[in-house]
């Protein structure tokens, strides 16, 4: 057989809807059915269905190429999970369901059940940390975020979406130094992510360090020149710089007669005394 014919080979999935329960308990759920597929010739695809543990079920069928392409999607990152990983995912899924219903105590219990199985689970740690923030339990959230910052896997490229959110949550918890360290490490791994530069600028903006805020928002714009939000933020920072320079210039001639005044803090470790005077772009 001509090797050029063999175009399709790998793990694919078909997403279907199943119905559970009856009457008022009836509900629908989306599930993925996995298979190994291999193209036999121009017209036929051989499909071997896989079980929950990634092993062949023994069900093998052949179907037309067009039908297969309409039903199945390639899954390049397919990974067979062990029993503990599946149990962890189950508890996290239940936690997120409880959380969406504002059932915070049940959500906390499920997250902690997941952490008993896998103490280093990024999703479970991040989930329970943000849950504590939502519940107003900031000290508990800080303890979780400190633990999460020591889990090296959070800074892997595949977790990029999490470590960016992690930095935002650290800032909201007033863990500014930790948030900055998180972003610096994340930038080493993903230097092409303009959102990381934007959020560093936001940290400096909150500290009223306009110079560094401007430097980092310019990095964000250089990475993505089409970001309207970053350009708006740059304009806001430049306006703050002009507003600050005006009063300074007027008071410069009297500075020898007046007692020393405290200038706006440029240290990220100091608490911000006032909220930003203008509306900031959303995280």
Tens of pLDDT, residues 51-62: 877 788 899 999
Question: Nearest-CA neighbor of 265 among 256, 253, 274?
Answer: 274
**Ordered structural domains, the chain, with CATH:** 3-18+28-74 (no CATH), 82-186 (1.25.40.10), 192-249+267-283 (no CATH)
Question: Nearest-CA neighbor of 109 among 121, 99, 123?
Answer: 99
The residue assigned the tokens 């997250």 is 111
CA 46 to CA 67: how far, in whole Å? 12
Handedness of CA 264, 269, 272, 273 (dihedral sign): negative
Return the pLDDT at 248. 57
DSSP assignment string, 242-261: HHHHHHHHHHGGGTTTSPP-
Neighbours of 148 (CB within 10 A): 24
CA 142 to CA 204: how far, in whole Å? 21
Return the pLDDT at 20. 65
Return the pLDDT at 12. 92
Beta strand 73-74 pairing with 56-64: unpaired
* Inter-CA distances, 168 with 146, 182, 266, Å: 14, 10, 19
Name the DSSP class of 191: T
Return the pLDDT at 276. 40
Q: What is the pTM of this model?
A: 0.59
* Inter-CA distances, 142 with 118, 130, 154, Å: 20, 10, 16
Per-residue model confidence as pLDDT tens digits over 165-198: 888 889 888 888 889 988 998 898 889 999 999 9
Return the pLDDT at 282. 47
CA 202 to CA 213: how far, in whole Å? 7
Supply φ then ψ for residue 29, to 5 degrees.
Answer: -145, 135
Q: Which two tokens stand for residue 81?
A: 């999970």
* Inter-CA distances, 271 with 135, 177, 202, 207, 208, Å: 22, 11, 15, 8, 11
Q: What residues of the chain score a pLDDT lower than 50? A: 1-5, 249-250, 253, 256, 259-279, 282
């Amino acid at each position: 057989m001509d090797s050029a014919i063999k175009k399709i080979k790998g793990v694919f999935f078909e997403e279907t809807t199943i119905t559970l329960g009856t009457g008022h308990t009836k509900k629908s759920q989306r599930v993925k059915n996995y298979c190994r597929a291999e193209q036999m010739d121009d017209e036929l695809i051989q499909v071997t269905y896989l079980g929950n543990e990634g092993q062949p079920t023994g069900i093998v069928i052949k179907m037309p190429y067009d039908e297969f392409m309409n039903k199945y999607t390639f899954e390049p990152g397919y990974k067979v999970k062990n029993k503990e990983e599946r149990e962890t995912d189950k508890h996290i899924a239940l936690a997120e369901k409880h959380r969406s219903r504002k059932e915070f105590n049940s959500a906390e219990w499920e997250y902690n059940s997941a952490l008993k199985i896998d103490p280093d689970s990024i999703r479970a740690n991040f989930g329970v940390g943000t849950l504590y923030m939502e519940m107003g339990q900031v000290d508990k959230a800080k303890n979780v975020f400190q633990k999460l910052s020591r889990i090296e896997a959070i800074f892997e490229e595949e977790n990029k979406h999490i470590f960016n959110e992690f930095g935002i949550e650290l800032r909201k918890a007033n863990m500014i130094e930790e948030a900055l360290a998180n972003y610096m490490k994340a930038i080493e791994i993903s230097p092409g992510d303009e959102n990381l530069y934007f959020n560093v600028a936001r940290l400096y903006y909150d500290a009223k360090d306009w110079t560094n805020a401007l430097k980092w928002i310019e990095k964000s714009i250089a990475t993505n020149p089409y970001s309207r939000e970053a350009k708006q933020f740059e304009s806001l920072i430049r306006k703050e710089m002009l507003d600050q320079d005006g009063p300074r210039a007027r008071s410069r001639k009297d500075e020898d007669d007046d007692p020393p005044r405290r200038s706006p803090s440029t240290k990220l470790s100091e608490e911000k005394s006032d909220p930003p005077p203008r509306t900031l772009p959303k995280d």
